[in-house]
Amino acid sequence: MRFTEIKRKKSLNSKISNTYGLDPDKLPVHIAIIMDGNGRWAKKKLLNRIKGHEKGADTVRMVVRTCREIGISVLTLYAFSTENWERPKTEVAALMMLLKKFLISEKKEMTDNNIRLNVIGQKKRLPADVQEEIQRAMNATCVNDGMLLNLALSYGSRAEILRAVRRIAADVKDGLQDIGHISEDNFASHLYTAGMPDPELLIRTSGEMRISNFLLWQIAYSEIHITQTLWPDFTKEELIRILNDFQSRERRFGRVLEE
Ligand code: FPP
């Protein structure tokens, strides 16, 4: 499946959206999530920050399962930013270990549930063993078309935009691209998310009112939902409530809706 073929999915169980009070035709095709608050969750419980990330990984599993169940086509999770490399070495190592464990343990679940894994970000900066597991999981799931799970790893939106600019500039230099023909669609086709629909809903946990260098181009028209809940405490019920809220919003894209 090419990413350009991504469309609205049917939920696994046609009654499921009704059970949750959701209109299946108004579900966001693409949800992006800034998973924040693992450290504060651990601190509140007088635990090491790593414990917060471990509990956060359980929430990731639940959210992936739920999104697949209700028929979301693309889920993008901000798992590790370019800025996160600046964290203490022990925390970075623990996050990489968790990621590797996740990729190994979830490969079967993704295969069984028709989920395709993709990574956006500077894959080459990741440790070699993590890169290998990413490749294995991506290969094992590449024909799946039930849901696309994008893990943003060593991801930074400004770096992504610069990368696109460099690629377009190189094409212009080589005579492959005419400056007058650089369009929004053409620009977007040089981003990691090439061919994917933009996120219609951006969720951030833990109450911070920031975008933190995440999908700056792609979220131009996303609905934003910020919840105070810390990521390890985020539940399926809250995700469903957020989706209900999303469905009640009027999306105008800068236009005036006709009477
Ligand atoms: C933010 O919490 C979270 C991260 C930097 C990493 C996200 C990682 C996970 C959810 C677990 C592993 C991921 C996968 C895909 C298995 P924070 O540490 O910034 O929290 P704080 O702001 O409270 O300190």
Split at pLDDT 50, 70, 90, the class of 10 is low
**pLDDT of 254 strictly over 90:** no
Which tens digit of pLDDT belongs to each residue from 211-243? 999 999 999 999 999 999 999 999 999 999 999
For the entire predicted model, the pTM comes to 0.94
Report the alpha-carbon distance of residue 219 to residue 213 in Å, rounded. 11
The question of whether 23 is a catalytic residue gets the answer: no
Q: Give buried/exposed letters for 20-35 (b at 16+ CB in 10 A, else e).
A: bebebeebbbbbbbbb
Which tens digit of pLDDT belongs to each residue from 62-80? 999 999 999 999 999 999 9
Q: Using a 6 Å CB cutoff, which residues line ligand 1? A: 35-40, 53, 56-57, 60, 79, 84, 98-99, 102, 151, 206, 231
Residue with CA closest to ligand 1 atom 3: 36
Report the alpha-carbon distance of residue 62 to residue 64 in Å, rounded. 6
What total of structural domains would you count in the chain? 1
Q: Which domain holds residue 145?
A: 33-244
| 83 in any annotated domain | yes
Report the alpha-carbon distance of residue 73 to residue 226 in Å, rounded. 21
Ligand 1 nearest atom to the CA of residue 52, by list position: 18
Split at pLDDT 50, 70, 90, the class of 133 is very high
Burial class, 130, CB count within 10 angstroms (exposed 0-12 / middle 13-18 / buried 19+):
buried
Which of these is catalytic: 48, 84, 114, 213? 84
Residue with CA closest to ligand 1 atom 1: 36
| 226 in any annotated domain | yes
Ligand 1 nearest atom to the CA of residue 84, by list position: 5
| 17 in any annotated domain | no
Residue 13 · residue 69 · CB < 8 Å: yes
Split at pLDDT 50, 70, 90, the class of 255 is confident
**Beta strand 74-81 pairing with 30-34:** parallel
**208 Cα to the center of ligand 1, angstroms:** 14
The question of whether 145 is a catalytic residue gets the answer: no
The structure tokens listed for 220 are 């131009």
| 104 in any annotated domain | yes
**pLDDT of 18 strictly over 90:** no
**pLDDT of 158 strictly over 80:** yes
| 257 in any annotated domain | no
**169 Cα to the center of ligand 1, angstroms:** 35
| 46 in any annotated domain | yes
The whole-number pLDDT of residue 41 equals 98
**pLDDT of 4 strictly over 70:** no
**37 Cα to the center of ligand 1, angstroms:** 7
| 250 in any annotated domain | no
Closest-CA residue to 63 (of 51, 75, 78): 75
| 165 in any annotated domain | yes
> What CATH number is associated with residue 55?
3.40.1180.10
